């Protein structure tokens, strides 16, 4: 008995851990031997490897063993992956083993998530987290701040910061210039700051956050707070679930200051060209009336994934006696009490603007041009986001980073299969709500394949409304609804295709936006914009997202067909998450780490 008690006790491995360890051991052996064939054979016949920069210097998904084989055949010799190790206890559910892991390459460290089916990889995510020798100064590596000891040449933090502000863009050129000072540009600027990449962010407005402040009064985030943190600095625990626009504006302004970003307000790029001989961009900038030339190595468009406003020039605008505004120009409902307003469009902005105008006492008519997907905010929170981004998720140990990685690990090719059951359930639970909308004449849809809001967002960035109250106004007839397409203005309003005339003192064109490469056409030239191609979308061959299949968001956060030109942005979640991978690509180029790109995206659609 004593011998039994003295013998070291071991906990038997779980079947999930055993399966994951065996897979990684065999996988690493194949990689070490340079055997792409053997490694690819460890993937299921239908499988997906999504790589965020670590293997491909790209954001790239390869599919099935053949795709894995091709990618490894081209990248393995230079990547030299090793030291795959489990990070936490693997789990098993429904025959799928899920395992978090870490790994290294020749130049970087990374993390990832593996899902096994029948002992073979079904989904595999690899993501670069840091470059060796260029780690961010975080936690144990954070700066001291105070410089102890005596030094007659000592300069304070304020003096150093003032010198940087005075010289960067003048006697010292930025490595990276970011055009656009919204959440995308700010998030990327923060990442680059921590990586030691000299960067300037250009914002044409007077203050950081003004892109939010100058919108209509009722604008709030429709995504919940847990989904919307910026890098490094989370919202406080008492931050509202849905932040009002001015509160977001104040947060962004504060963030640029405490994160020490080189953020130029009242600054606008007026032209840009790449000087091949000099190896840098030549960007003409007007800064608060001063003209100057910047020569960054890398140029990032962070002008919003929706691109330039689409403001149709309908005939008759010269005779219309009222006002015409695009939704992005609409200042708010104040001053329109008792006046007739026609809002062209039926997505998020159209609904928000209609509701605010009705509250102000305007006579409001929405013109629905095509079907729209609607989901109630509470239903989206509970069924669409709650498992990953909520207090419930935090209580289950899923913090924002973990949620981001879980979401990133779901291949776009099959993501709709995970989304469809959510919307099937919502359709059933909120049946009375949808019946009321249809009775009011609203043309509803659930996406091309019933997969709902998020797939619509990823595919086209439009076509939906997260209901925070406007739908009930339509159901009750307080906001009038008309279906049809506008053809022209009259002296007193608008005319639709069927001849219907609607009186209006104000017409708001909630008609959306074009591709982001429209900004590239304006600033560089149309040839460059066409070489970049359409920005956003997956190639799903669904409305407004033409095929062929791309596998990733077109031109976002990764190399484009124009060297040294990048596109960045998206919602707050995407700006936070993907800013890391873009920043690592830019840092590698700054310090001279070779970055051969595997699978650079072809251009199928010009987009402008």
- Chain centre to alpha carbon of residue 163: 33
CA dist 182 and 209 (Å) reads: 7
CA dist 309 and 510 (Å) reads: 9
Low-confidence ranges of the chain (pLDDT < 70): 1-11, 305-307
CA dist 427 and 459 (Å) reads: 21
Q: And the tokens for 501? A: 């005339």
Choose among 233, 191, 186: nearest CA to 211: 186
Q: And the tokens for 458? A: 């990823």
| C-alpha to C-alpha distances, 519 to 129, 284, 530, 574, 595, nearest whole angstrom | 31, 15, 11, 20, 27
Q: What 3-state DSSP class applies to 325? A: strand
75 contact partners, CB below 8 Å, separation of at least 6: 55, 56, 598
pLDDT the model gives residue 518: 92
Choose among 132, 430, 181: nearest CA to 301: 181
Q: What kind and span of H or E run contains 453?
A: helix 452-460
Burial of 324 (0-12, 13-18, 19+ CB in 10 A): middle
123 contact partners, CB below 8 Å, separation of at least 6: 47, 48, 49, 50, 113, 114, 115, 409, 410, 411
Q: Locate tokens 């981001």: which residue? A: 404
HEC sequence for 97-129 = EEEEEEEECCCEEEEEEEEEECCEEEEEEEEEE
- Please name the residue ranges forming H helices in 132-232: 157-167, 183-194, 210-213
- Chain centre to alpha carbon of residue 104: 26
CA dist 584 and 202 (Å) reads: 21
pLDDT the model gives residue 305: 65
Choose among 582, 580, 605, 575: nearest CA to 252: 575
Q: And the tokens for 403? A: 């949620």
Q: What 3-state DSSP class applies to 145? A: coil
pTM strictly above 0.85: yes
CA dist 21 and 38 (Å) reads: 17
Q: Which tens digits make up the pLDDT trace of 501-553?
A: 999 999 999 999 888 999 999 999 999 999 999 999 999 999 999 999 999 99
Partnered with residue 178 across adjacent β-strands are 201, 300
Q: And the tokens for 52? A: 């965020």
Q: Which tens digits make up the pLDDT trace of 441-489?
A: 999 999 999 999 999 999 999 999 999 999 999 999 999 999 999 999 9
CA dist 69 and 152 (Å) reads: 61
pLDDT the model gives residue 219: 81
149 contact partners, CB below 8 Å, separation of at least 6: none
- Chain centre to alpha carbon of residue 87: 27
Contact 338, 361 (CB under 8 A): yes
Q: And the tokens for 204? A: 């044409």
pLDDT the model gives residue 221: 87
């Amino acid at each position: 008995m004593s011998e039994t008690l003295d013998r070291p006790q071991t906990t038997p491995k779980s079947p999930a851990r055993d399966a994951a360890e065996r897979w990684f051991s065999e996988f690493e052996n194949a990689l070490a031997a340079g055997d792409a064939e053997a490694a690819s054979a460890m993937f299921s016949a239908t499988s997906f490897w999504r790589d965020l920069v670590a293997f491909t210097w790209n954001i790239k998904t390869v599919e099935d063993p053949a795709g894995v084989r091709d990618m490894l055949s081209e990248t393995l010799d230079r990547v030299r992956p090793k030291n795959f190790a489990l990070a936490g206890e693997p789990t098993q559910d429904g025959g799928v083993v899920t395992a978090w892991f870490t790994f290294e390459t020749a130049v970087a460290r990374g993390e990832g998530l593996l899902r096994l089916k029948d002992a073979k990889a079904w989904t595999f995510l690899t993501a670069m987290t840091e470059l060796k020798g260029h780690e961010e100064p975080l936690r144990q590596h954070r700066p001291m701040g105070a410089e102890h000891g005596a030094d007659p040449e000592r300069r304070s933090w304020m003096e150093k910061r003032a010198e940087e502000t005075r010289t960067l863009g003048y006697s010292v050129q930025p490595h990276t210039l970011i055009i656009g000072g919204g959440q995308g540009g700010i998030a990327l600027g923060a990442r680059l700051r921590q990586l030691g990449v000299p960067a300037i962010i250009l914002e044409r407005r007077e203050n950081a956050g003004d892109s939010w402040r100058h919108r209509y009064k009722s604008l709030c985030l429709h995504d919940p707070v847990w989904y919307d943190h910026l890098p490094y600095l989370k919202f406080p625990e008492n931050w509202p679930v849905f932040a009002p626009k001015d509160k977001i504006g104040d947060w962004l302004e504060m963030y640029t200051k405490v994160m020490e970003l080189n953020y130029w307000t009242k600054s606008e790029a007026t032209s840009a060209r790449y000087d091949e001989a000099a190896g840098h961009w030549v960007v003409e900038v007007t800064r608060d009336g001063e003209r100057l030339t910047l020569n960054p190595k890398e140029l990032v468009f962070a002008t919003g994934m929706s691109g330039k406003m689409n403001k149709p020039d309908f005939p008759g605008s010269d005779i219309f006696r009222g006002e015409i505004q695009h939704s992005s120009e609409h200042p708010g409902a104040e001053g329109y009490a008792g006046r007739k307003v026609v809002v062209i469009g039926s997505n998020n902005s159209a609904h928000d603007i209609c509701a605010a105008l009705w509250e102000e006492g305007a006579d409001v008519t929405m013109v629905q041009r095509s079907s729209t997907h609607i989901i109630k905010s509470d239903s989206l929170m509970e069924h669409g986001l709650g498992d990953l981004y909520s207090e419930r998720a935090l209580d289950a140990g899923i913090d924002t980073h973990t949620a981001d990685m879980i979401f990133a690990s779901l291949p776009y090719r099959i993501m709709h299969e995970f989304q469809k059951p959510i919307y099937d359930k919502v359709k059933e639970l909120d049946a009375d709500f949808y019946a009321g909308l249809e009775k009011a004449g609203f043309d509803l849809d659930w996406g091309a394949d019933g997969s709902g809001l998020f797939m619509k967002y990823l595919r086209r960035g439009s076509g939906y409304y997260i209901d925070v109250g406007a739908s009930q106004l339509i159901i009750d007839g307080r906001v009038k609804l008309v279906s049809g397409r506008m053809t022209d203005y009259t002296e007193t309003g608008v005319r639709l295709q069927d001849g219907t005339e609607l009186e209006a003192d104000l017409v708001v064109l909630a008609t959306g936006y074009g591709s982001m490469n429209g900004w590239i056409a304006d600033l560089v030239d149309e040839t460059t914009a066409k070489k970049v191609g359409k920005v956003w979308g997956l190639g799903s061959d669904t409305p407004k997202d033409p095929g062929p299949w791309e596998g990733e968001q077109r031109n976002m956060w990764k190399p484009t067909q124009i060297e040294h030109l990048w596109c960045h942005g998206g919602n707050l979640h995407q700006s936070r998450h993907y800013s890391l991978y873009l920043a690592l690509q830019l840092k590698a180029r700054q310090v001279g780490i070779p970055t051969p790109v595997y699978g650079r995206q072809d251009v199928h659609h010009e987009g402008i």
